[in-house]
Structure formats: structure tokens, C-alpha cells
Amino acid sequence: MRIPLYIDFNGKKVVIIGGGGVGTTRAKKFIEAGAEVVVYSLKFSEDLVRLSNEGKVKLVSVDIEKINFEEILRNAQVVVVAIGDKSYNEKIVEVARRYKTLVNLANDAEKTEVVVPFEGGRNGIRFAVTTEGKSGVVARKVKEAFQKVLEEDEEILYFLNAMEYLKKYMKSREVPVNLRMKLYYVVSSDEKFRKLVKEQKVEEARKYVEDLVGDYMSGKKELNVETLEF
């Protein structure tokens, strides 16, 4: 069972074995995340050479048979295997486990530890989709469907902004965390609040949120905890 996580890769080391199309795609993704990326291969794509010239990636020209896996994985957080030959997978996984390095087997979706998903998002909302190797075509189709929802449903973005304001406001008022968790559900399901958000009445929605929080804090309104789900 793999766990979906969003991880800050800024400053972390990523080793990629293979300088072709897949290796290039993986390298770009980790470079964008701020990782220190090193690619080992006999041949490199034009994009990788360009990125190397820009100082964004280190390229090491070497035959895989001559790679010292112990040396290159000792301080790496992730290793990506992006070559067609699977005969080295077992050895790489074995060494990686000793150094607690996570393995992305781009050539074996069933045995990989790390899955690199299709990503999308808009204005602070992010999502990732994978079929864990069953079909990249289907994963891409699902991603496009999710993206379409974000692009077409503006209310979601207004709702996000309103809830973000609610979170910051309650923290600034030092609302106890247990009460805060309950109020998220109460406020987000409040009909008047949802109506103001839908009508894009941002300031009115914020004022209404502040009044609601004040009423619950002062005891003017009581929480029906039995109807809340956590």
C-alpha cells in the first residue's frame, strides 16, 4: 500500500539512472521542486544537456555496469531508475534499502516504491492522479477531468479563499483547536455563508464568518456535536 504525500524536495538529492525521455521528465520535475539532481547515463537528451549548461542538473557520463551504487545512493533521498533493462533493479533496490533511499522504478510500475503521478491544480488547489501502472492514458484522462472542474467551477476557488480566511482569523483569535475543528464544519455548511461565497460577496462573507465565530465563542450559539463528523 503506497501513501500519497506532498513532500518538499528543496535541497534534497535525487539520483536518476538513465538520460532518455523518462529520465528527462523525472529530472525536470525534481529540478522544479528545488532538488539537487544528478543523472547517470552514457547518452543524454538535448533538454538535459541544456539544463546542465544552465547549472540546474549534474550529468555523469558512465556505463551502468561501472556505476558504484553504494557511492551514488549513500546520500540520496530518491533514486529513479529510467532505463529499459530491468536486470539492475534488484541490485539498486537492495543498496537503496541499506541507505533508506526511496526507489522510483520507472521501468516496473508493480515493484516500484515511489509512484510519480500526473499532477494538476489551480490557485492553491493541487491534486495527483495515478493508476499505479495500469494505464497512463486513463490517469491522464482523469487528470484532465479534474482540471476541467477547477477551471470551470469558480465557486470552489471562492470557497477556498473564504475557508482560508476563516482558518487565519480563528488562529489570530486563538480559538482552541478542538473548537476550531468543529467550527470548520459548522461554518462551511452554513447556508448563508455558502450563499455569500457563491455570490462572490467576499467582504460580507468574511464579516459573517467573524460574527459566527464570535457567537460560538461567547456561547450565544451552541454546537450540536452529535451531528458533526470528524
Same domain, 95 and 140: no
Q: Is residue 4 part of a domain?
A: no
Q: What is the mean pLDDT of the chain?
A: 93
Same domain, 140 and 177: no
**Tens digits of residue pLDDT in 27-65:** 999 999 999 999 999 999 999 999 999 999 999 999 999
For 103, the domain range is: 13-116
**pLDDT > 70: what percent of the chain?**
97
Same domain, 77 and 41: yes
d(C-alpha 120, C-alpha 132), whole Å: 17
User: Mean pLDDT throughout 173-189?
Assistant: 89
Same domain, 221 and 147: no
Q: Is residue 43 part of a domain?
A: yes
Window from 49-53, 90-94, 125-129, 206-210 with minimum mean pLDDT: 206-210
Q: Is residue 219 part of a domain?
A: yes
Same domain, 88 and 30: yes
Same domain, 165 and 97: no
**Tens digits of residue pLDDT in 149-162:** 999 999 999 999 99
Instruction: Using the predicted structure, report yes or no on whether residue 227 has a pLDDT greater than 60.
Output: no
**pLDDT > 90: what percent of the chain?**
80
- Strands (E) in 62-217, as ranges, are 78-81, 102-105, 118-122, 125-129
Same domain, 112 and 128: no
DSSP 8-class letter at 66: G
Q: Is residue 223 part of a domain?
A: yes
Written as nine digits, the cell of 186 is: 459548522
Pairing of strands 125-129, 118-122: antiparallel
Report pLDDT for 223: 72
Same domain, 29 and 108: yes
Same domain, 62 and 43: yes
- Which of 65, 90, 116 represents a domain boundary (last residue)? 116
Report pLDDT for 225: 52
Q: Is residue 159 part of a domain?
A: yes
Please tell me the total count of domains within the chain.
Answer: 3
Q: Is residue 25 part of a domain?
A: yes
- Which of 92, 116, 140 represents a domain boundary (last residue)? 116
Report pLDDT for 219: 84
Residue 70: CATH number of its domain: 3.40.50.720
User: Mean pLDDT throughout 12-31?
Assistant: 98
Instruction: Report residue 63: phi and psi, to 5°.
Output: -75, 140
